[in-house]
Amino acid sequence: MIRIIGLLLVLISQVAIASDTLWSETELRIIESLSINQIPKRPISPSNQFANNALAQELGKKLFFDTQFSGNKQLSCASCHQPDKFFTDGLPLARGLHATGRNTPTVVGSAWQRWFYWDGRKDSLWSQALIPFEAPNEMGGNRVSVVNTIFSDKQYRETYENLFGPFPKTLKHAELTLEAGPIGTKVMQSRWKKLNKETQESIDRVYVNIGKSLAAYQRTLSYQATSFDHYAAQLKENNNSNKKLKKNAIKSLLTDDQIAGLKLFINPEKTSCLQCHNSALFTNRGFHNVGSGTFSGASLDFGRMLGLQAVLLDEFNCLGPYSDANPSECTSLNYLNRRQHIPLKGAFKTPGLRNLRSTSPYFHDGRFKSLEEVVNFYNNPPTDNGPHELSPLGLTREEVSQLVHFLDSLN
């Protein structure tokens, strides 16, 4: 009898060790799917034939950090996308020449995105890059001055011509010294309208090539392995084996709270996080409505509902005249889901969850300072902000904290 009890105790203690650290086969597969080595090769970008060109990457990098292209000569892309903040700015709402209405997202990992901006109103990195120069509240420059800066700077011009061929002959020096563009002040717009069609198109062509270079540079920005990734790699190597020593070594890569948080994150019965934040990028790259839209007041934001209309009308989209793609290669636009199976009014692009420690505050309007606030939001989603996709989670305070600890392991 004593021997049987003894045997039972041994068995129970082994089960306890096992259940303490072992993951089910399904869980292991999910963890592997989230790990950094599952990030695929950079997808091709058919609308930009310079996407992987080394000289374009170099030129794009210079442009990204150059303040000459802004209205006050003090702002560059990097003013808001700061490398030491994982290419964000630490502000709730971005501020250029004036306040803007949205939070600055990172540009790291943009090679893998399908849509750009929180509302996806752009379908390529290069067409996105054409906006900030001219946006009055961002860099407040204008299209002709941007092109003129390339034209008049010996080094820029040389690099430009090496890459894209000679500067359009139709462009006359006098026209390039104008402060003009289709967006911007009334004066700039009226000067732009007075230029003939051919001149406008030549300026647009150069402007687009600037965007294509910026895209080439941003495509090089990728992720580094986090403690979660090291943990996932070790798990895989260990193949979930029962060797106690090794398991403890693996365990030490994450804290108990982080492991508990990971369990919650991948458990569809406890949370729905994976439904939208999946794959090694921690995003399905689509638009979802989590009840965060604003439908009245000054901070009005309908999200994807208007972004969808905008990308279809955009002359710089993949199907437009400045794209290098065959129409059949424009998969994002061609397979655009127009069925409103989710409420598009107030839907936003699902952000990735890597390196959040450097990118607070969170959400499209920077409404949350801390990740704890974000997880609390998911625990008790809004009940008075129109239809959305979330249901209350019923997590305890400890579980909320564990999820936050897990998110912290993605740094």
Tell me the window of 40-48, 127-135, 152-160, 220-228 that interacts with ligand HEC (CB under 6 A): 127-135
**Neighbouring C-beta atoms of residue 6, cutoff 10 Å:** 10
- Could you tell me which residues come within 8 angstroms of residue 189 by beta carbon, excluding any fewer than 6 positions away? 180, 181, 182, 183
Whichever of 122 and 191 has its CB closer to ligand HEC, that residue is 122
Tell me the chain's radius of gyration from C-alpha atoms.
25
* CB neighbour list of residue 268: distance below 8 Å, 6 or more residues apart: 274, 275
**Paired tokens of 41:** 């090769």
By the 10 Å C-beta count (0-12 exposed, 13-18 middle, 19+ buried), 300 is classed as exposed
Question: Which of 51, 176, 318, 371 is the binder for ligand HEC (CB under 6 A)?
Answer: 371
Closest to ligand HEC by CB, 250 vs 343, is 343
Residue 180 and residue 182: Cα distance in Å, rounded?
7
Q: x-or-dash pattern for ligand HEC, window 338-367, by CB under 6 A? A: ----------x-xx-x--x--x--xxx---
CA separation for the pair 253, 229 (Å, rounded): 10
Distance, in Å, from the CA atom of 210 to the CA atom of 213, rounded to the nearest integer, reads 5
Which residue lies nearer to ligand HEC by CB, 112 or 151? 112
Nearest residue (CB) to ligand HEC, 4 versus 313:
313
403 binds ligand HEC (CB under 6 A): yes
Contact map string, positions 181 to 220, toward ligand HEC, x by CB under 6 A: ---------------------------------x---x--
Residue 40 token pair: 């695929």
- What span, in angstroms and rounded, lies between the C-alpha atoms of 114 and 120? 8
- Cβ proximity to ligand HEC: between 184 and 351 the closer is 351
- What track of x and - describes contact with ligand HEC for positions 22 through 61 (by CB under 6 A)? ----------------------------------------
Distance CA 329, CA 310 (A): 20
At its nearest, how many Å lie between ligand HEC and the CB of residue 35? Answer: 17
Closer of 234 and 255 to ligand HEC (Cβ): 255
Is the Cβ–Cβ distance between 351 and 303 less than 8 Å?
A: no
Q: Which of 292, 355, 402, 409 binds ligand HEC (CB under 6 A)?
A: 292
Binds ligand HEC by CB under 6 A, chosen from 185, 227, 272, 278: 272
For residue 331, the Cα-to-chain-centroid distance in whole angstroms is 19
Cα(7)–Cα(187) distance, integer angstroms: 89
- My answer on whether omega of the bond before 361 falls inside 30° of 0, hence cis, is yes
Task: Give the binding-site size for ligand HEC (rule: CB under 6 A).
Answer: 51
Which residue, 254 or 374, is less far from ligand HEC as judged by CB? 374
Question: Which residues ranging from 213 to 242 are in contact with ligand HEC (CB under 6 A)?
Answer: 214, 218
Burial of 227 (0-12, 13-18, 19+ CB in 10 A): middle
Nearer to ligand HEC by C-beta: 216 or 232?
Answer: 216
Draw the binding track, 136-165, toward ligand HEC (x: CB under 6 A; -: no contact): --xx--------------------------
Q: Is 394 exposed, middle or buried (0-12, 13-18, 19+ CB in 10 A)?
A: exposed
CB of 110 to ligand HEC, least distance (A): 5
Least separation, in Å, of the C-beta of 323 and ligand HEC?
A: 17
Write the interaction track for ligand HEC spanning residues 81-110; mark x where CB under 6 A is met and - where it is not. Answer: x------------x-x---x-x-xx-x--x
Task: Give the count of beta carbons closer than 10 Å to the beta carbon of residue 407.
Answer: 25
Distance in Å, CB of 383 to ligand HEC, minimum? 16
C-beta separation of 360 from 370 below 8 A: yes
Q: Distance between CA atoms of 149 and 203, rounded to whole angstroms?
A: 12
CB count in 10 Å sphere of residue 84: 8
> Among 279, 283, 232, which residue's Cα sits nearest to residue 258?
232
Distance CA 162, CA 172 (A): 20
Of 34, 51, 276, 330, the residue at the interface with ligand HEC (CB under 6 A) is 276
Q: Which is nearer to ligand HEC, 199 or 271 (CB)?
A: 271
Smaller CB separation from ligand HEC, 121 or 247? 121
Residues of this chain that bind ligand HEC (CB under 6 A) = 75, 77, 79-81, 94, 96, 100, 102, 104-105, 107, 110, 113, 116-118, 125, 128-129, 132-133, 138-139, 214, 218, 271-273, 275-277, 288, 290, 292, 348, 350-351, 353, 356, 359, 362-364, 371, 374-375, 378, 389, 403, 407
